[in-house]
């Protein structure tokens, strides 16, 4: 099924935030910050991998992501959906199924044996490829995946994610300079607003999270002191 009739963008963002909170994909802790894969600390954590274990949420979010792609990129904009290793692979597969397109996936690095490939599945020169991932922070990891796709002779002019941090400067501009448009469902600001509306965390925690979101670099500097 190709979804065509869904809520407008701001309502999709609110509902996505609500679902992430309901399934425990979001955690806030201002007193014991989380250490992210980058090594940076933050009072926020989101785990989009949990989505695959909740069928109703999984289905709704994949419909939301598919309709966002159709609305913001076009109904005939892509020939191939590529999931990024590892979290992007199940979401790429589900989006490809909804849009009736072939699916591939991109490794973070060559596997080191056999064909030593980074692209798994069939991707051919000239194909217009959409990169699907679970989330993006500063957009850096997306560029490596995009370059691997382009090395096959295919093109990649867009990436679609469920969650976009939305707190670091110039992320969309950096991606655009690399010829990539960012499509996303919600940001930390949407989650914070829904968390306040739904009374998911105490006010002091939410205030601390908001301080981090307004100045993540400054907040990080304060933690390191």
pLDDT computed for residue 59 by the predictor: 96
Res. 224: pLDDT tops 50: no
- Residue 134 located in a structural domain: yes
Task: Kindly report whether the global pTM for this prediction surpasses the value 0.85.
Answer: yes
pLDDT computed for residue 112 by the predictor: 67
- Residue 223 located in a structural domain: no
- Tens of pLDDT, residue by residue over 182-202, are 999 999 999 999 999 998 899
Per the structure, the count of domains in the chain is: 1
- Residue 2 located in a structural domain: no
- For 88-104, letters b (16+ CB in 10 Å) and e give bbbbbbbbbebbebbbb
Which residues touch 81 (CB under 8 Å, ≥6 apart)? 92, 93, 95, 96, 99, 101, 102, 103, 104, 129, 130, 132
- Tens of pLDDT, residue by residue over 106-151, are 999 887 665 668 999 999 999 999 999 999 988 888 899 999 999 9
Domain span at 203: 9-218
pLDDT computed for residue 113 by the predictor: 66
- Domain of residue 164, CATH code: 3.40.50.2020
- Tens of pLDDT, residue by residue over 31-77, are 888 987 777 789 999 999 999 999 999 999 999 999 999 999 999 99
- Residue 224 located in a structural domain: no
């Amino acid at each position: 099924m190709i979804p065509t009739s869904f809520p407008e963008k701001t309502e999709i963002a609110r509902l996505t935030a609500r679902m992430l909170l309901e399934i425990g994909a979001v955690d806030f802790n201002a007193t014991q910050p989380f250490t992210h894969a980058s090594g940076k600390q933050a009072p926020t954590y989101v785990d989009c991998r949990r989505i695959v274990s909740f069928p109703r949420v999984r289905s709704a979010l994949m419909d939301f992501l598919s309709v966002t792609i159709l609305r913001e990129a076009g109904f005939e904009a892509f020939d191939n959906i590529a999931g990024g290793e590892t979290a992007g692979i199940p979401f790429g597969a589900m989006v490809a199924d909804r849009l009736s397109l072939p699916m591939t996936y991109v490794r973070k690095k060559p596997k080191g044996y056999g064909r030593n490939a980074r692209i798994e599945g069939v991707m051919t020169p000239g194909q217009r490829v959409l990169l699907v991932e679970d989330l993006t922070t500063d957009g850096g990891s997306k560029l490596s995946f995009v370059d691997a796709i382009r090395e096959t002779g295919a093109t990649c002019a867009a990436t679609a994610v469920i969650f976009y941090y939305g707190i670091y400067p110039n992320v969309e501009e950096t991606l655009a300079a690399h010829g990539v448009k960012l499509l996303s469902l919600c940001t930390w600001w949407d989650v914070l607003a829904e968390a306040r509306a739904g009374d998911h965390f105490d006010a002091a925690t939410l205030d601390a999270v908001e301080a981090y979101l307004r100045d993540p670099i400054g907040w990080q500097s304060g933690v390191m002191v």
